[in-house]
A and B are shown apart, each in its own frame.
Chain A
Amino acid sequence: MFEVISNEVLAENLHKMVVSAPRIARARKAGQFVMVRLAQGEERIPLTIGDADSEAGTITLFIQAIGASTRRIVATKPGGFIRDVAGPLGKETHIANWGRVTCVGGGVGTAVLFPLVKALAAAGNQITTIIGGRSSRYIILADELTPLSETFLVTTEDGSLGSQGFVTGPLAELLADPERVPQAVFAVGPVPMMKAVANLTRPFGIETIVSLNPIMIDGTGMCGGCRVQIGSETKFACVDGPEFDAHLVDFDGLSDRLSCYRKEEAASHSPTECKIGREVA
């Protein structure tokens, strides 16, 4: 049993939960995730570890509550318990000093991006962070990301915060400017957003890394449910990822597989997908 230490609403349907998990807090590196099962009979769902405090023995999870399972998880009050939390899983992010790095986050994907930005900043990169959301209500972690970023940009579809439009707008401007063009790009968000970023950077040959969110059951490489096409190879996001070279990812295939249980979800209100980055940026 894993105690919920705090549970805070960051935006509509988006919770920040701090959970006691001392071993995971000690072992965890940026880019890794945990498998969470609230109680007997519930699904196992993957959630990225947003942050961790090894001293306090806690991990921070950012959870978008748009399905039955995630809604029940975020309904857990401080002092309550999550039955199963296993991890840290997945490969840690390869962090290097590229020089100029652009980090792009969409919706709750911003929460996944946060530990990467933190680690990239610590490695001495100059970071431009671009965060997008449908409206200002979906822009999260701005206060946390601003001090880590040399430049911090916001886009919203309705123009309620930052510039109106998509994250790809400011990114395209950066790519076109020889003074500001990044040596690497990290993008986490909805599949269409990551695909758009990959398509933008491809002609420039800029190393672009995305964090994928396929359906998982065990998260330990056993079930193969999270397989994604990376170039000519089939990879398992849970053990080979979750981060991959964006220019090799078959985003359409990923999108399609993510829609596998839409009908069942609608019928039973019991979605199975990882909800990370489902919000359209």
Chain B
Amino acid sequence: MSNKLTAKERMAIERVVMAELPADERNKNFEEVNLGLSADQALQEAQRCLQCKNRACVAGCPVGVSIPEFIDALACDDLPRAVQILRGDNALPAVCGRVCPQETQCEALCVRGIKGEAVAIGFLERYVADWAMHHPDRLLREPAPAPTCKSVAVVGCGPAGLTAAGELARQGHAVTIFEALHDTGGVLRYGIPEFRLPKEIIDREVALLSELGVAIECNVIIGKTLTIAQLLKEFSAVFIANGAGLPTMLGIAGENLKGVYAANEFLTRVNLMEAGRREHSSTPIITRREVAVIGGGNTAMDCVRTAKRLGAERAMIVYRRGEAEMPARVEEIKHAKEEGVEFVMLTAPTAIIGGEDGWVSALRCQRMELGPPDDSGRRRPQPVAGSDFDLPAGVVINAVGTSANPLLTATAPDLDLNKWGNIIINDQGETSIPGVFAGGDIVRGGATVILAMGDGKKAAAAIDAYLKGK
């Protein structure tokens, strides 16, 4: 296939469809749902890119991936160059190609989307990143950067921390990541299920950072094992990316009944501790016939699809707005529906009902209707009087969100926080403590992997400038 197609020829190509595991098969296991593109599919999809001069798509990418450039290299069948371009901009391309909400970012701005369908940028990113993992011998070797003799401590091994670590290591700084949990990846590992992001992908991306010289120390809780003040004595700069924290409680009766999980606990048990899906895991998980998941974001989708896989006959999303207002990725909603998840829309929980044995038996709900738009621009749900009903459920999962974790900030009194406990940063990503930068959910509150990565990349540039000026 040639790269020298005319615009008309490019326009004539239809958007690729990625193969998926059949829904009634995959909803019983944790195998990855999306199977990736074949080489032919990837080459053909790459031809659909018009190579626009204004690169609108790049503006939609929080880490600014040189999208037309890597796609052009791919279209020319020059995969080593495509990898070099992609990895130069993105420390975790195999992750982003799987979990980014492309439809609201790069692909939303793709010119092809104006009349028809956007280029499948996410699929192509995944293809190139996966190819790189399987062809290490074909990759272009980058010269090792000259050591700067400056060191940076990164707090948290999630998407923001990993991204910053990669960027800083490429500048020649000595980077150590401190991770509170016993394994790497942060939310990528404990939060995102394997049917969306196999752990092997995280392992491989982390291994690449280790090859760059990034040191990772697990089981170190900054704020507890070591403080920010101690890190500043040992390191030239610090980047705080310790993620989101405490689950937000619903504030309704029955939240402490047995069988009620916060999304983080449910997902951590299954993802990090492998409860319910590996024989050797000694961490248990409660499974019931009816599982109600409260919330409409990606975390809610991850929970409900996990519950389905663990054997729930009725795995239900209970969301107070309508489907159009759901913050979850379009693909997650589509996959969930295909897998048999029930969507109970315009429904708000008012209480969790338990039996005398202390176990959950139902979720008391109220029907809602959409009123005028609220501050977020979405139509505000309003209760419909007299519409109460009980939804039978043996497990209820609260996936409405998290608030800032106080572990680190409690022992760093000089760190300025906003009223929600999130760290305040300036335009450069620097906190109120000189030399200490922050990004990701500890700054933003709950957000996405790619926004956290964007923060990591931006902070790394600011840290590099800070260290060079020192």
Residues from chain A with a CB closer than 8 A to the CB of B405 are 220-222, 239
Q: Are A224 and B225 within 8 A (Cβ)?
A: no
Q: Are A225 and B262 within 8 A (Cβ)?
A: yes
Q: Which residue from chain A places its CB closest to the CB of B258 in the assembled complex? A: A260
Tell me the interface secondary structure of chain A in the complex.
Answer: mixed
Query: Range of interface residues on chain A?
Result: 35 or more
Q: Are A86 and B282 within 8 A (Cβ)?
A: no
- Answer yes or no: A24 CB below 8 A from chain B CBs: yes
Contact status of A41 and B221, CB under 8 A, knowing A217-B268, A220-B180: no
Q: Are B262 and A229 within 8 A (Cβ)?
A: no
Q: Are A261 and B284 within 8 A (Cβ)?
A: yes
Tell me the interface secondary structure of chain B in the complex.
Answer: loop
Q: Are B258 and A257 within 8 A (Cβ)?
A: yes
Q: Are B255 and A217 within 8 A (Cβ)?
A: no
For window 300-351 of B, CB contacts with A under 8 Å fall at none
- Answer yes or no: A68 CB below 8 A from chain B CBs: yes
Query: CA separation between A34 and B280, bound complex, in Å?
Result: 23
Q: How far is the CB of B98 from chain A (nearest CB, A)?
A: 22
Query: CA separation between A21 and B219, bound complex, in Å?
Result: 11
Chain B count of residues within 8 A CB distance of the other chain: 41
- Answer yes or no: B7 CB below 8 A from chain A CBs: no
Residues from chain A with a CB closer than 8 A to the CB of B281 are 41
Q: How far is the CB of B180 from chain A (nearest CB, A)?
A: 5
Q: How far is the CB of B469 from chain A (nearest CB, A)?
A: 31
Q: Are A270 and B282 within 8 A (Cβ)?
A: yes
Q: Are B245 and A88 within 8 A (Cβ)?
A: no
- Answer yes or no: B148 CB below 8 A from chain A CBs: no
Query: CA separation between A277 and B243, bound complex, in Å?
Result: 33
Residues from chain A with a CB closer than 8 A to the CB of B246 are 221-222, 224, 236, 239
Using an 8 Å CB-CB cutoff, how does the interface string of A65-83 with B read, 1 for contact, 0 for none? 0001100000000000001
- Answer yes or no: B433 CB below 8 A from chain A CBs: no
Q: Are A85 and B274 within 8 A (Cβ)?
A: no
Query: CA separation between A253 and B245, bound complex, in Å?
Result: 24
Q: Are A85 and B219 within 8 A (Cβ)?
A: yes
Q: How far is the CB of B233 from chain A (nearest CB, A)?
A: 14
- Answer yes or no: A256 CB below 8 A from chain B CBs: yes
- Answer yes or no: A84 CB below 8 A from chain B CBs: yes
For window 254-299 of B, CB contacts with A under 8 Å fall at 255-256, 258-259, 261-262, 264-265, 268-269, 273-274, 278, 280-284, 286
- Answer yes or no: A279 CB below 8 A from chain B CBs: no
Our pick among B220, B244, B255, B280 for the contact of A86 (Cβ within 8 Å) is B220
- Answer yes or no: A264 CB below 8 A from chain B CBs: yes
- Answer yes or no: A134 CB below 8 A from chain B CBs: no
- Answer yes or no: A218 CB below 8 A from chain B CBs: yes
Contact status of A41 and B282, CB under 8 A, knowing A218-B268, A221-B245, A229-B256: yes
Residues from chain B with a CB closer than 8 A to the CB of A260 are 258-259, 286
- Answer yes or no: B249 CB below 8 A from chain A CBs: yes
Q: How far is the CB of B250 from chain A (nearest CB, A)?
A: 10
- Answer yes or no: A89 CB below 8 A from chain B CBs: yes
Q: Are A223 and B280 within 8 A (Cβ)?
A: no
Our pick among B264, B284, B358 for the contact of A224 (Cβ within 8 Å) is B264
Q: Which residue from chain A places its CB closest to the CB of B246 in the assembled complex? A: A221
Residues from chain A with a CB closer than 8 A to the CB of B244 are 222
Contact status of A268 and B245, CB under 8 A, knowing A220-B407, A223-B264, A234-B256: no
Q: Are A259 and B221 within 8 A (Cβ)?
A: no
Query: CA separation between A250 and B256, bound complex, in Å?
Result: 11
Contact status of A88 and B218, CB under 8 A, knowing A221-B407, A223-B262: no
Given contacts A224-B246, A224-B262, A270-B284, 16 further A-B contacts (CB under 8 A): A23-B226, A27-B225, A37-B182, A41-B278, A44-B182, A44-B273, A220-B407, A221-B406, A222-B246, A222-B405, A223-B247, A225-B262, A227-B249, A228-B256, A256-B258, A270-B282
Using CB atoms and an 8 Å cutoff, list the residues of chain A in contact with chain B.
23-24, 27, 37, 40-44, 68-69, 83-89, 217-218, 220-225, 227-229, 234, 236, 239, 250, 253, 256-257, 259-261, 264-265, 268, 270, 272
Pairs A-B, 7 closest by C-beta atoms: A224-B262, A264-B284, A270-B282, A223-B265, A224-B247, A41-B280, A84-B182
